[in-house]
Amino acid sequence: MPNKQNAKKALRQAIKRAALNKTRKFAFKNAVKATTKAQTAAEAKKLAMSAQQALDKAARHGTIKKKTASRKLSRLMKKVNKMTK
């Protein structure tokens, strides 16, 4: 347990940030999974948009890196485009 005031505050901030990161990561992972399990191409496209929003939000807030989000979205869109053919 930290003794100094600034260490206590840093611990509080770290706990709060970890919780936010966990929810954001959970959100984009679920969105990607839902998109890959979609039955129809139209449904997959709709879910891909929500997955893109979740990935962009996670990247914007620093939960994941920008290029990681881009790579995940690219791979997801490849799968969605395969479904439409």
Q: pLDDT class for 1, splitting at 50, 70, 90?
A: confident
Q: What letter represents residue 18's amino acid?
A: A
Domain boundaries, the chain: 5-84
pTM of the model: 0.87
pLDDT tens by residue, 40-58: 999 999 999 999 999 999 9
Q: CATH homologous superfamily for 5-84?
A: Ribosomal protein S20 (1.20.58.110)
Which long-range contacts (C-beta less than 8 Å, at least 24 apart) are formed by 76-79? Answer: 76/32, 76/35, 76/36, 76/48, 76/51, 77/48, 79/35, 79/36, 79/44
CB-based burial of residue 76 (10 Å sphere; 0-12 exposed, 13-18 middle, 19+ buried)?
Answer: buried
